[in-house]
Amino acid sequence: MNQINVTKTFFPPLEEYQVQLERIWANQWLTNRGELVLELEDKLKEYLSVSNIVVTTNGTIPLQIALKLLGKGGEIITTPFSYVATTAAIVWENCTPIFVDIHPEYLTIDETKIEAAITNKTTAILATHVFGNPCHVEAIEAIARKHNLKVIYDAAHCFGVQYNGKSIFEYGDVSTCSFHATKLFHTGEGGAMFCKDLSLQHKMFYSHNFGHDGPLAFHGLGINGKMSELQAAMGLAVLPFMDEIIKERKNIVDYYNAHLDFPQVKSIKIRENTNWNYSYYPIVLESEEQLLKVEKVLNTNQIFSRRYFYPSLNTVGFSKGNKMPIAENIASRVLCLPLYVRLSLIDLQNIISLISAELC
């Protein structure tokens, strides 16, 4: 029986990756911001229409760098509905996560509840654009300005997303993205950080390169977050296929939307004025019991969805916080269905048929 996973890495044609690898062998340069890394940054700036970008070895290190520079050991207002890396980065950088509940339809942080969580120890807001769905960035920016706070966006899912006609990466003091193998655009493992303020961008840049100012001097404290040439080679081979990837994923999402039209199934509400990237297909079922039944029947047929995100991060030991009724409730009922390039129509029909039989 054909196994269907929740996602599947897009592999570009092998010969196109080999072309990039041959450049590395010719240059004899594997890391420390070589020719391919610089070229990838230039091409991503053009593709994404962003003012600047620094590519990194993974998608978590930009969060850690941003928190090191902007968090200053204070309280960070954040969402409990995200991947664990969001909260883990806060704790790792000796800051304190302060959770704010989420909007029940958009699934992003509820901006109307942020101000009540602000104290004299608050230094920043770290919000996640969940499944590539933008937060209410205007309201968050207004709150941050009023209280002199910094804004960091975990935009791990947001490659190619535009909001109000510009890249979602252009919002906030810092935005970050993941280029992990499971993501829309990937470099096998990798990520990026975006920052419009040139002074802060300079600090973030040297922070990802051990703090270096040339080979013998240092601007300040740093860590190793550099992307390798091998990672950049994969990115350069994948990037030309992005429009095709997004188009095919849109077709799959449209098919799900048309055929999973049951009262027991709710899909995420995409924020108005968003050009979405179809990064995930989450459904919210009526109860956890119903979710477990759907998950079981899919698994029995070698179809592996994912409880993403579960559990709500305010219930995790190292970051345990106040009750978050909406996030905890949604986390218990949300299931991401398979979504990837070349997911066949037959497989889609089978997934929908199994869910339909369980719900009807």
Domain boundaries, the chain: 4-8+241-359, 14-240
Helix axes 35-48, 14-27, angle to 10 degrees: 130
Which residue in the block uniquely carries the two structure tokens 């890249």?
167
For residue 334, the surrounding DSSP H or E stretch is: strand 334-336
The answer to whether residues 150 and 195 touch, using CB atoms and an 8 Å cutoff, is no
pLDDT digit string (tens) for 65-102? Answer: 999 999 999 999 999 999 999 999 999 999 999 999 99
In this predicted structure, the answer to whether residue 34 has a pLDDT above a threshold of 70 is yes
In angstroms, the CA 179 to CA 64 distance is 16
What percentage of the chain carries pLDDT values higher than 70?
Answer: 100
Q: CA distances (Å), 302 to each of 281, 294, 305, 346, 350, in order? A: 18, 13, 10, 14, 11
- Spatial contact of 352 and 254, defined as CB atoms under 8 Å apart: no
Residues 48, 4: Cα–Cα separation, whole Å: 31
CATH number of 14-240: 3.40.640.10
Q: How many residues does the chain have?
A: 360
How far apart (Å, rounded) are the C-alpha atoms in residues 1 and 14? 27
The per-residue pLDDT for range 265-309, each reduced to its tens digit, is 999 999 999 999 999 999 999 999 999 999 999 999 999 999 999
Can you tell me the mean pLDDT for 94-115?
98
What tens digit of pLDDT does each residue of 215-252 get? 999 999 999 999 999 999 999 999 999 999 999 999 99
What are the structure tokens assigned to 108, written together? 């992003």
What is the average pLDDT across 319-328?
95
Contact 355, 123 (CB under 8 A): no
Which of the four pLDDT bands, split at 50, 70 and 90, describes residue 1?
low
What are the tens digits of pLDDT across the range 179-217?
999 999 999 999 999 999 999 999 999 999 999 999 999
The fourth-level CATH superfamily of domain 4-8+241-359 is: Aspartate Aminotransferase, domain 1 (3.90.1150.10)
Helix (H) or strand (E) holding 33: none
Taking a C-beta distance cutoff of 8 angstroms, is the pair 87, 127 a contact? no
**Over residues 327-346, mean pLDDT:** 98
Q: What is the mean pLDDT of the chain?
A: 97
Question: pLDDT value at position 234?
Answer: 98
Q: How confident is the model at residue 262 (pLDDT cuts 50, 70, 90)?
A: confident
| Beta-sheet pairing, 162-163 with 166-167 | antiparallel
